[in-house]
Amino acid sequence: MAKRKTKFICQECGYESTKWMGKCPGCQSWNTLVEEMEAETSGRKRSFVTSGNTKVAKPQPITKIEKSEEPRISTHINELNRVLGGGVVPGSLVLVGGDPGIGKSTLLLQVSATLSDHKQRVLYISGEESVKQTKLRADRLGIGSDELFVLAETDVDLIEKVIEELNPTLVVIDSIQTVFLDGVTSAPGSVTQVRECTSQFMRIAKTRGIAIFLVGHVTKQGSIAGPRILEHMVDSVLYFEGERHHTYRILRAVKNRFGSTNEIGIFEMKELGLEEVLNPSEIFLEERSSGAAGSAVVASMEGTRTVLVEIQSLISPTSFGNPRRMATGIDHNRISLLMAVLEKRVGMMLQNHDAYVKVAGGVRLDEPSIDLAIAVSIASSFRDSPTAPGDVIIGEVGLTGEVRRVSRIEQRVVEAVKLGFERVIIPKKCLGGWTVPDGIDVVGVNSVSEAIEITLGGVSSGSPTFEL
């Protein structure tokens, strides 16, 4: 009998090696290589040449292919529909990741309940909880429907048989790290098991037209546990973000074959589950301190939505040789770059000061239009001079100190008007070509120094009012 071969696979990135190593050459992680048995393969190879009456798919010109809109199933949760691109596409495979306890299972159980309430058959499969535990959580959330079926199972072959018998519209697998295939010798949660189980669920989704949601655990670095190919196999990857000790949660699409990857959905965790936040700008600004140095408001675009958030900075002299640069919600390298621009182009001596920059509310901002607000916030804290409470600052900053144009400026200004702001600082290149709304003053600037002079030179009268 032939001896079965073994190999060592990294549980973080999927790197394969014939011998054990303490450090993975692929992802540089320590003690992540685990020994696994190679799967037995038959000697028969797949042939692309068929005989008999079997039909073979033939290539056809792209101009001859008929296009059709993908039918979508509304989840009746507007924030989730926004992130998915309009609803759930039948036959799609969606991966939902997030930290433990962030609310992944709660969200998917609520989605299952809303669909079952609208006469859609849903199968919720839990590999981590018993049926009674799932029932207790459903009772706590006020969920109950005859079209919502619950199963506690981890064997993929048995799960497939149940799906064939039940023929649901939506299937939830909680989680992909707990299920296994009998033909794979490695343990559940290993790289091989996760990859093979996902491939099996992808086949079920595509052949039967059933939408499947997979819950994925995350690593210490915040990425989906398992091989990177897992994210390439699925149609959509959603990350559930937020602090466990805060009530607000952000659902962000990092991959979506049926919609935009820039959309976010915002929820608030309450006693009866997750509740949609319809106007996040009011939530993020309601605790803003008036007249505090180091505070600036920016209008950021998250997909098709405008979100007004507060950027806070604290600049203090350091007693050490290397000043600290810390950032929350922003890339800390961007802070170092903007501080270098302020030193060189504006003349602020920041090299002997610690800098702490934070986006209030737990949001993470990546787009370039927040540069000018960060620079003004840093300058405000350095000079101990507050910005005007009625100002919104928008613009990208170049290395020569110029303020560059940004997209969708009219939509950003309209959102500022809705929240009662009185003045908006924008790049001068963005002036013209659109109608300025009533009740707000639009000021164009060409450089960072000009923006700082305008925003810190005087304070506009009044404060923005919020109608909560």
φ/ψ region of 226 (left if φ > 0, alpha if ψ in -120 to 50, else beta) reads: left
260 is in an annotated binding site: no
Scored b (16 or more CB within 10 A) or e, 35-48 reads ebeeeeeeeeeeee
Residue 265, marked binder: no
Q: Do the annotations mark residue 439 as ligand-binding?
A: no
CA–chain centroid gap for 83, Å, is 9
143: which 2 tokens? 């969920």
Which neighbouring-strand residues pair with 269? 274
102 appears as a binding residue in the annotation: yes
CA distances from 458 to 16, 295, 339, 389 (A): 62, 15, 23, 11
User: Has 216 been labeled as part of a binding site?
Assistant: no
Cβ–Cβ under 8 Å, residues 245 and 362: no
- Residue 457 is labelled as binding a ligand: no
Report whether 235 belongs to an annotated binding site.
no
Tell me if 100 is assigned to a ligand binding site. Answer: yes
Q: What is the 3-state secondary structure (H, E, C) of the chain?
A: CCCCCEEEEECCCCCEECCCCCECCCCCCECCEEEEECCCCCCCCCCCCCCCCCCCCCCCCHHHCCCCCCCCECCCCHHHHHHHCCCECCCCEEEEEECCCCCHHHHHHHHHHHHHHCCCCEEEEECCCCHHHHHHHHHHCCCCCCCEEEEECCEHHHHHHHHHHHCCCEEEEECCCCCECCCCCCCCCCHHHHHHHHHHHHHHHHHHCCEEEEEECECCCCCECCCCHHHHHCCEEEEEECCCCCCEEEEEEEEECCCCCCCEEEEEEECCEEEECCCHHHHHHCCCCCCCCCEEEEEEEECCEEEEEEEEEEEEECCCCCCCEEEECCCHHHHHHHHHHHHHHHCCCCCCEEEEEEECCCCCCCCHHHHHHHHHHHHHHHHCCCCCCCEEECCEECCCCEEECCCCHHHHHHHHHHCCCCEEEEEHHHCCCCCCCCCCEEEEECEHHHHHHHHHHCCCCCCCCCCC
Q: Are 77 and 110 in contact (CB under 8 A)?
A: yes
Task: Enumerate the β-bridge partners of residue 35.
Answer: 8
Residue 445 structure tokens = 């600037």
213 close to 237: Cβ distance less than 8 angstroms = no
User: Which residue ranges are tagged as binding site for ATP?
Assistant: 98-105
User: Which residue ranges are tagged as binding site?
Assistant: 98-105
